[in-house]
Amino acid sequence: MLNSGGPGGTGQNFAAQTGVALAKSPVTESFDLIGFDPRGVGATEPSIHCFDDKDRLAGDVRTEFVLTAGTFSEKDTERLADRCAEGSGGEKTLGTVSTRDTVRDLDVLRSALGGGKLNFLGQSYGTRIGALYAEKYPQHVRAMVLDGAVDPHLGGERRLSQYAGFQRSFDEMATACSDDAKCPLGTDPERATETFNRIARPLLDQPLAYGQGLKFTYNNLIDSVIAGLYYKAVWPKITQGIADVKKGDPRQLLAISQAFSGEGTEGGGGNFSEANYAITCMDEVRMTPEQAVGMREQTYRSAPFVDPGTGSAGARDACESWPVEPKTAYPSPDRVGGLPTTLTISITGDPSTPHRAGVNLAETLGGSLLTVQGEQHTIASAGTSACVDKAVADYLIDLRVSDNARCTL
């Protein structure tokens, strides 16, 4: 069983992609790969939908009001929750998409597949599904590969370590680019954030037009850059896209964000961001307006490249008007017992799920940790590292692990 992360990633697509990537792996010779779309995601019925084509044309599709530049009110959160209820089959649907609900579904699927013990590969948010499953059904687990771990010890504050990770990757990208005299971030990496801010902030008032009347805004730019920072191989495309934006052309950066979210070229397509919003609302303790302002201030301090320079006032927890109380999934217990050995994979330069989070998850589950030296987010399903591929195959097929194992990308 597979989950690609998000929340909001479609497991059906992930299974197909992983099958291609691992076509020559012993894993696909020994296992069927089964992907499922969690509640509210992709082909699930009912799925979460908060926007229509008119909303997308107007650029009115934000589901996050802390990182997002702008001033938001209680009416904004009420309107967003109402639109999600209307587009998703009512308020009842909105209360059934938590990770804890998905964990129960996963056990139903396990039973429907013959009732044997679960073999699971989850990446990013998928590690959260795996960890909660392990907590609730430890007796049903045979093997778990948890790649790019969500920290089990942190609640909403984990976002700050995540944004610090994105800033670190931004700085590394700027350093890699600085040898080129044409680097849009300049040849002095110490000033790259300042240079990027000068490029980005004018879009607050003058977004770039593209497509059929669509506009590429400051927030679109930040979304696109963050999406590209997940993988070092994409960094040259980000810097080229930033150079293009300076010339008034956002297409390169749009392609990056659309590939990340699965959305179409005109903003339609999958429901990644809407499902992400709904699941988050059901999983996390909600912030007061004062806490949201504080979180925005700390976010801009952790990742100054995303700072629009407009201050922290007006931030809001977009979930504050969600009509159903959360079934909180963060943080986990300090220790989950009764499990066979699990395999957590953590990359040292992962911008989204820091290496320390992988260490913490392995300790919480009493499992094995594979540390991977590199600069990207997740690796097990990619089939691009012989070292990682062997470790994953040895574990899934024969349940063999090595203490303090390491690979290098």
Q: What are the tokens at 385?
A: 């590292």
- The catalytically annotated residue of 124, 169, 224, 261 is 124
- The catalytically annotated residue of 317, 377, 381, 389 is 377
Side-chain half-sphere exposure of 63, counting CA atoms within 13 A: 23
- Give Cβ neighbours of residue 318 (< 8 Å, ≥ 6 apart): 62, 63, 64, 65, 66, 72, 77, 80, 277, 281
Going 307 to 298 to 258 to 275, the CA torsion angle's sign is negative
Residue among 93, 117, 94, 129 at smallest CA distance from 3: 129
* Three-class secondary structure of residue 301 per DSSP: helix
Residue among 130, 128, 126, 127 at smallest CA distance from 118: 130
- The catalytically annotated residue of 76, 151, 350, 389 is 350
4-34 as b/e: b if 16+ CB within 10 A: bbbbbbbbbbbbebbbebbeebbbbeebebe
Which amino acid is located at 56 in the chain?
R
The beta-strand segments (E) located in 224-319 are none
Q: Please indicate whether residue 101 is annotated as part of the active site.
A: no
Q: Please indicate whether residue 377 is annotated as part of the active site.
A: yes
Residue among 239, 128, 222 at smallest CA distance from 166: 222
Q: Cα separations (Å) of 386 from 299, 342, 381?
A: 37, 20, 12
Residue positions counted in the chain: 409
Strand partners, 141: 118
Q: Cα separations (Å) of 76 from 44, 70, 143, 273?
A: 27, 11, 44, 17
Report the chain's terminal Cα–Cα distance, integer Å.
26
The residues annotated with a catalytic role in the active site are 124, 350, 377
